[in-house]
Structures are given as C-alpha cells and as structure tokens.
Amino acid sequence: MTDIEEEVDFEVDPEDLGDAPALQVDSDRLSLLVNDLHVSYRVFGAKKVGHGPARDWGLLDRLVRRGAKQPAIREVKAVRGITFAANHGEAIGIIGVNGSGKSTLLRAIAGLIPPVSGTVHVAGNPALLGVNAVLMKNLSGARNIMIGALALGLSRNEVKERFDDIVEFAEIGEFVNLPMKSYSSGMGARLRFAISASAVPDILMIDEALSTGDAGFRAKSKAKMDEIRESAGTVFLVSHSLATIQSMCTRVLWIHEGKLVMDGEPREVCGSYKQFVADRKRHAASQK
C-alpha cells in the first residue's frame, strides 16, 4: 500500500456533509496576508550505517575524530513561494498529501517557525490547535484547561467561568480530574479543541484535530467554527478527510511539495485533488 492510500480518506458520509453547506459570512476585511512565503528546515546528515564488526575506538582515536569534518547539513524546502489572502469570516481548508507543507504553513502563520523569506501579516491573534500539540500529560485535564486557556490570554476568572462549558464540549466528564496520560487520543484531541476554541480567537488553525471525533463531535465543532467566524474570526482546517473539508469550509487551498497548486471552491478543488491522487495511485500500480 502506498503512502497516498494510507493517508487519504475519500469516503463521503452523510453525517460528515450534513444537510447544510458551510455557513457563508460576507466580509471584505482582510484577516491574513501571506506574501511569497518560503520556509526551510535544516537537517543534519544521518550517521553512517554499515556492516561489519563494531570498532572499539581508543582515546587517541576519539580525540582525532573530534576534529573530523562535521556531517553535511541538508536544507529541506517545506514551503516554497506561497501567496494568498484571507478575509474575516472565511473557513479555509488546506489539503495535500503527507509532507506537502500543510502543517508547516500553519506553524509559520502562527509565528512558531521563522520564514526564510516572504512575509505573514495577521490582523489579530492566531491560535494553532494540532493533534500533536503538547499538553502536560502528567497533569489532570482540569490543570491543562487552566494552563492552556491562560496561554490563550484568558484571565483566571474567565477560565473558571468557562470551565464547565469546556469540559462539556470536550465530552470528557469525570476524566477531567485524571492525568492526561490516561486519556485516549480522541479525548485528548477533543479537549485541545475545546481549550483552543474557548477564547474565540481571531484566527483558529486546526490541524487534523477533527479526524478523531465522531459525527456528533464534528457537528459541534462545525457549530463552534461558525460561531468564531460570525464574530469576525477566520478558521483554517487541515484534514485528509475531503468530506470534512467540504462540509466545514467555504474555500480550499491545495498544497503540493510546498507550493500552492489550487485555491478555490471546496468541491472544485477537492475534485481536482481526488483525481490527482487517483492518477498517482494508478501510476504507482503500473510501476510494480
């Protein structure tokens, strides 16, 4: 099975799409401008792997080797010249195969990764929510709610006022008093979403967090995203589920190999992407 087959979910379920399309919020006010953005990683060369018996390096050998030439540094261009603008009230899906630069783009927008060149202009405070976002696993859900919400700018009183709503939204019940390390991946993802959305950020960026929820949680998440957008916010959603993208987004960016391939209406962009992946699968099968 290829990487493409493993990572893309093209199944369109009725509970994903729902009866109504994504809410349309009209606005001509810019919330974000990304201009010719380039982001690169520097990767140190891997240590040599070979066959044969291991050598017992003596003290003199080790001293000599300290002055040996250091391994080469390889530059990986993760985002290459992406330009787009987003308005208040938009819900923008980002699709692409693994390694295409989707998550890197969100991290650059959030200010977590410095660009090599290009600029990102943001009107407001962005909040990045990712499935792999690190909460303190040895602390309880309650403590993580306080820490996470404070980090988003809420006061202690505001956190206390919204605490019950966060727990109810995350559907974790009495687990809120247990350490995060006892949570399932779905419980952790739901709690991260609930914490990130509790502050109603100007720009909410969601990286795969909805893929672990059931139909009921996706419906609640969609309602929360609509609430954020109606309050003049902007939402970005990275997901491999085209059904989720089409049901929750008003616009889609398709990124491949760090470049913006297509930007437009969800069904059109998702249709072109689906055909692209199908063609690659056929080509890969023909090479076997």
C-alpha 273/C-alpha 261 separation (Å) is 9
**pLDDT on residue 59:** 59
* Cα(140)–Cα(162) distance, integer angstroms: 17
pTM above 0.95, yes or no: no
Supply the mean pLDDT for the chain. Answer: 80
CATH topology of domain 3-28+89-111+125-286: Rossmann fold (3.40.50)
Tens digits of residue pLDDT in 64-110: 556 555 566 778 899 999 999 999 889 999 999 988 999 899 999 98
Question: Whole-angstrom Cα distance, residue 137 to residue 210?
Answer: 20
Encoded tokens for 214: 């059931």
Task: Give 14's pLDDT tier (boundaries 50, 70, 90).
Answer: very low
Closest CA to 192 of 161, 224, 229, 160: 224
What is the per-residue pLDDT across 222-262, written as a single tens digit (0 to 9) for each?
788 778 777 768 889 898 888 888 888 999 999 999 999 99
How far is 227 from 86, CA to CA, in rounded Å? 17
Classify the phi-psi angles of 235: left when phi > 0, otherwise alpha if psi is within -120 to 50, otherwise beta. beta
On the question of pLDDT at 26 being above 90, the answer is no
Residues 162-219 pLDDT 10s: 999 999 999 999 999 999 999 987 888 888 888 877 877 788 888 876 655 677 787 7
- 196: nearest Cα among 140, 238, 150: 150
